[in-house]
Structure 1
Amino acid sequence: MNRTEETRREDTITAIATAWGEAGIAVVRLSGPEALAIADGVLALAEPLSETPPRHMRNGYLLDEKRNPIDQILAVWFAAPKSYTGENVVEIHTHGGSLVASRCLDLLVCGGARHAEPGEFTKRAFLSGRIDLPQAEAVLGIIRSRSDEALRAAARTLQGELGAFASSIYDELMTLSGHVEVALDFPEEETQDDGDTLALSLQAIVQSLEDLLDRCSTGFLLREGVRVAIVGRPNVGKSSLLNALLKESRAIVTSVPGTTRDLIEEVLTYRGIPLRLVDTAGIGT
């Protein structure tokens, strides 16, 4: 890790954690060494967050630059290392308007925080050892799930199932490597590790690796889906087929050949697998 990356890891970062738009609440998140101080600088609470026990919610107000209240909020913090990122984390729950969430974010940035890069909270969780790489990918898998099967698969990975399986294979490889080294370094010694036993152990590891590959392939299929192109001559019903499968009028259908000129892509979930249907222009147009 270069010096620049180390310095950026020491920054306190902030971002809106909820989806953009109007809703009941919006959550703005802070993570880093100055999270509590920055939050206390823009909030009016009965007691500062820095004097509040972790995981205890406080009701108060969000203050603008002139110390005027602009929203009634709830605030809570999570102490390192028992937080999502492994750092001190603050969550400010505002009302769900786009303006108030943006103003809260701007105030935190003015207070010393830095805008988080895409995925930086999860990156920090990985770098601090809170989650492993499969679990980090599972976070995105849960967010992008389009079926119950994909959601369940991502949740199992987030619980550590895939990482534990990979770790067990690694342990088996290290054990086999040790037995092979003993056999090579001390050929005159009598051991229980003859050639046939080692071959069976290696065969078991190969089978485990194939199972791991199948799991990963299945997870990728559930997350990314299958891209299916609807191809044919002009005016043979490609767009009508797309609309029928989607059960909505997504593509324009007319009796004039060549109506579809650009690719139209939509996702249909069939038996838990996302199908990325692509309506194409007629062949020859």
Structure 2
Amino acid sequence: MSEIGFNRLRLNIDDTIVACATPPGRGAISIVRLSGPRAIEIAERVFRGRKRVGEFKSHTAHLGCIFDGELRFERVLLLLFRAPNSYTGEDIVEFHLHGGRVAIDWLIEILVKNGARPAEPGEFTFRALVNGKMDLIQAESIEEIISAQSRTALLSSVSRLEGRLSEWARRLKERLWDIYTRLEASINFPEDEIEFDISAVYEELSKVREELETICANYDRNRFVFEGAEIVIAGPKNAGKSSLFNAIVGENRAIVSDIPGTTRDIVEAHFELDNIPVVLYDTAGLGKPSDKLDSEGQKRAYEKLSSAHLILFVVDGSVKVQKIEFKFPAKTVLVVNKIDLGVAKENEKLFAEYRTIKTSALLGTGIDELLLFIRNYLAANHCEPPLIGTARQRETIRHLKNNIERAMGYLETQAELSAEELKSAIENLSELLGENLTPDLLESIFSRFCIGK
């Protein structure tokens, strides 16, 4: 029995597993996937077609019926993928049947009765990893693709599935291994006068460090590609924030009223701008709290402002504004709303101090200009899809960069310590690729997967 375990459970990879590979619920077609050493045997017990399943060639489709004992259950299309040329590296049988919860559950019950085991979340991809069909970066990218919130995030994840990050990591590992072995040789065999140009090595490591810094910076700048750009609407009460929120979203999501302080809790909407996912938040009006509920609403508003990628600070331009009681961070634009009522002359000088867009949420005036500003702002803070795509990868790269910096610092005066840091850097690259799997690492990744993938 081959058993591989991590915190969540221990997985017997000699079992044949089964799960629905498509979302639950009604649909034209659902797919039930069977993978493992007994997949063909179990399929033969329940499927009747023109031939036995064992006689089918790999990567072929066959029409037939599923039987529960002698009861004919469903007409299905069976697809066979023989090991090792399958997703998991094992024999895989897929049953394509009419969508619907009853049919799916019944088929899985039949397959379990005949020797299969219900799969755990992510177990198909876990087997692909164990069987060498993909590395850990590619396994992570599967979940990223499923969870992608935009086309940009999807393309970035697909590039990792196709090996872009893995190839980069392997090439860097080879470069560092070459430096490490030459450094070790110069330390252990000084009498042989092995050629080791410290200045050239320092320069090469400096280039590696710069490359790692760029990778981390691009990920940090592009996190909203994966998580959504958080845009927060804030400002004093009765400035028309909720009306602006509805005008941007294009529907009445927030309650609009002439009564100050109508919005108490945060309202949010999700949409895309130029393939970038956006989460727009409407928050409680800022100012002197009228009651405990209002105080809590403002507290939540300030918390949301701290994490925002962009702040739309809204004021009513039609009434005199004495001063703006808000410290504008660089990520803020002043939205002067209600211009359909006119703009008080006393405000012009005050508003000129800020980056300003004038709108009438009621009439829709200035909304296109505001959306254009948001598009340009996100584009200016966005570069090409980042090489890395998860917090784990970012943290590993950070450790790697620290190794390189310490190796550079020790290189000239403490060569042994420099060699140790290079060795640690190589080990970090192995961890990035999943060459050194640990229970905690497996748990952190596969706990996020859905059943059937």
TM-score with structure 1 setting the length:
0.88
1:239–1:31 CA distance, 2 compared to 1 (3 A): farther
Specify which of 31, 34, 41 is matched with residue 37 of structure 1.
41
In 2: Cα distance, 1:109 partner to 1:15 partner: 10
* Alpha-carbon offset, residue 172 of structure 1: 1.1
Q: Which amino acid aligns with 2:205?
A: L
The percentage of aligned residue pairs carrying the same residue is 37
1:137 aligns with 2:124: no
* Alpha-carbon offset, residue 261 of structure 1: 4.2
Q: Which has the higher contact order (CA 8 A, sep 6+)?
A: 2
Specify which of 59, 62, 71 is matched with residue 68 of structure 1.
71
1:264–1:71 CA distance, 2 compared to 1 (3 A): farther
Structure 2 residue aligned with 1:11: 15
Once the two structures are superposed, the pairs formed by residues 1-285 of structure 1 within 5 Å of their partners are 1-2=4-5, 8-63=12-67, 65-214=68-217, 216-217=219-220, 220-283=223-286, 284=289, 285=294
Q: Which moved more, 1:71-80 or 1:208-217?
A: 208-217
In 2: Cα distance, 1:126 partner to 1:263 partner: 42
Alignment size in residue pairs = 284
Q: SS of the residue aligned with 1:201?
A: helix
Q: Which amino acid aligns with 2:135?
A: D
Q: Is the 8 A contact 2:151 2:276 kept in 1?
A: no
Deviations 1:86-141 (A, max 9, x none): 11111100012333223222222232222222222112211221111111121122
User: What are the ranges of 5 or more consecutive residues in structure 2 without an aligned counterpart?
Assistant: 295-453
In 1: Cα distance, 2:205 partner to 2:136 partner: 26
In 1: Cα distance, 2:119 partner to 2:11 partner: 14
In 1: Cα distance, 2:184 partner to 2:124 partner: 42
Q: Which amino acid aligns with 1:35?
A: A
* Alpha-carbon offset, residue 83 of structure 1: 0.9
User: What are the ranges of 5 or more consecutive residues in structure 1 without an aligned counterpart?
Assistant: none
In 1: Cα distance, 2:253 partner to 2:145 partner: 27
* Alpha-carbon offset, residue 70 of structure 1: 2.9
* Alpha-carbon offset, residue 228 of structure 1: 3.5
Root-mean-square deviation (CA, aligned residues, Å) is 2.5
Q: Is the 8 A contact 1:150 1:219 kept in 2?
A: no
1:87–1:207 CA distance, 2 compared to 1 (3 A): same
Deviations 1:194-214 (A, max 9, x none): 211111121122133234434
Q: Is the 8 A contact 1:234 1:257 kept in 2?
A: yes
* Alpha-carbon offset, residue 55 of structure 1: 1.1
In 1: Cα distance, 2:22 partner to 2:109 partner: 16
Q: Is the 8 A contact 2:272 2:278 kept in 1?
A: yes
Q: SS of the residue aligned with 1:29?
A: strand
Q: Which moved more, 1:106-115 or 1:53-62?
A: 106-115
Q: Is the 8 A contact 2:186 2:195 kept in 1?
A: no
Q: Is the 8 A contact 1:169 1:208 kept in 2?
A: no
1:132–1:214 CA distance, 2 compared to 1 (3 A): farther
Q: SS of the residue aligned with 1:227?
A: strand
* Alpha-carbon offset, residue 155 of structure 1: 1.2
* Alpha-carbon offset, residue 33 of structure 1: 1.6
In 1: Cα distance, 2:244 partner to 2:104 partner: 42
Q: Which moved more, 1:127-136 or 1:106-115?
A: 106-115
In 1: Cα distance, 2:54 partner to 2:195 partner: 61
In 2: Cα distance, 1:88 partner to 1:188 partner: 57
Q: Is the 8 A contact 2:19 2:119 kept in 1?
A: yes
In 1: Cα distance, 2:37 partner to 2:46 partner: 17
Q: Which amino acid aligns with 1:48?
A: R
Q: SS of the residue aligned with 1:130?
A: coil
Deviations 1:67-95 (A, max 9, x none): 32232110012112211111111110001
Q: Which moved more, 1:269-278 or 1:74-83?
A: 269-278
Q: Is the 8 A contact 2:246 2:253 kept in 1?
A: yes
* Alpha-carbon offset, residue 215 of structure 1: 5.5
* Alpha-carbon offset, residue 249 of structure 1: 2.5
In 2: Cα distance, 1:70 partner to 1:262 partner: 51
1:279–1:66 CA distance, 2 compared to 1 (3 A): farther
* Alpha-carbon offset, residue 5 of structure 1: 6.0
